[in-house]
Amino acid sequence: MQTDPDELFDEVDANDNILRPLPRKIIHQNRLRHRAVHAIFFDAESKFILLQKRSAKKDSYPLAYTTSCSGHVDSGETYEAALLRETAEELGVSLPLEKFLRIGKVEACAETGFEFTKVYACFVDIQTKFNPPADEVQSLDWRKISDFELDAQKNPQNYTPSFLKVYKFYLENKSAAQKNVL
């Protein structure tokens, strides 16, 4: 997928306060802090995790497995609006915010691409029909959680660094997570 180098993201300071909008290209080239969302989808019984295999056309980590759904927060957009937009764009489903469990926020660091990352979990029926765009997503694969964790440990190169960081954060914080309430 060709990304728009002029797409605007908000540069943020060390406390995640917005400084100014800048083009994607400038943000990424200069490794400036910005914002992202990640949603990890599980089946209703928490036995399977939905992995997204990135398209071969992606500009970073093509064909690597990543979070079920993730993306940048556009300039002027809230984390929650980005979550719902990315879910619709990447998975082809529209879900209400109440379906998501708010896990917390990963601090901007090298593994996340200098993105402050709000992490969410979503539990759905394994028969849920997703409709991902082929230019974004190579495949969506339900994987037994234990199999995924073993593979991620043995073959971390098959996964995006941000996904591994986000998943570790999820494991450390899932018990303290709260339902999203508007």
Tell me which residue of 26, 20, 9 sits closest to 73, measured CA to CA: 9
153 belongs to a structural domain = no
CA 146 to chain centre: 20
Q: Which residues contact 85 (CB under 8 A, 6 or more apart)?
A: 71, 77
Domain extent at residue 92? 8-43+68-133+160-177
Residues 58-76: tens digit of each pLDDT: 878 999 999 999 999 999 9
Q: How far apart are CA 84 and CA 110, in angstroms?
A: 25
142 belongs to a structural domain = no
Please tell me the predicted confidence (pLDDT) of residue 3: 62
pLDDT of 91 higher than 50: yes
Average pLDDT value for the chain: 93
pLDDT band at 14 (very low <50, low <70, confident <90, very high): very high
Please tell me the predicted confidence (pLDDT) of residue 66: 97
pLDDT of 178 higher than 70: no
Q: How far apart are CA 26 and CA 60, in angstroms?
A: 16
Q: Are 50 and 137 in contact (CB under 8 A)?
A: no
For residue 85, give the CATH number of its domain.
Answer: 3.90.79.10
pLDDT of 33 higher than 90: yes
pLDDT of 1 higher than 60: no
Q: Are 68 and 29 in contact (CB under 8 A)?
A: no
Please tell me the predicted confidence (pLDDT) of residue 5: 60
63 belongs to a structural domain = no
Residues 96-115: tens digit of each pLDDT: 999 999 999 999 999 999 99
Percent of the chain predicted with pLDDT > 70: 94
78 belongs to a structural domain = yes
pLDDT of 180 higher than 70: no
Q: How far is CA 11 from CA 63, 111, 133, 163, in A?
A: 28, 17, 28, 21
**How many domains, the chain?**
1
94 belongs to a structural domain = yes
Please tell me the predicted confidence (pLDDT) of residue 123: 95
103 belongs to a structural domain = yes
Tell me which residue of 173, 170, 175 sits closest to 49, measured CA to CA: 170
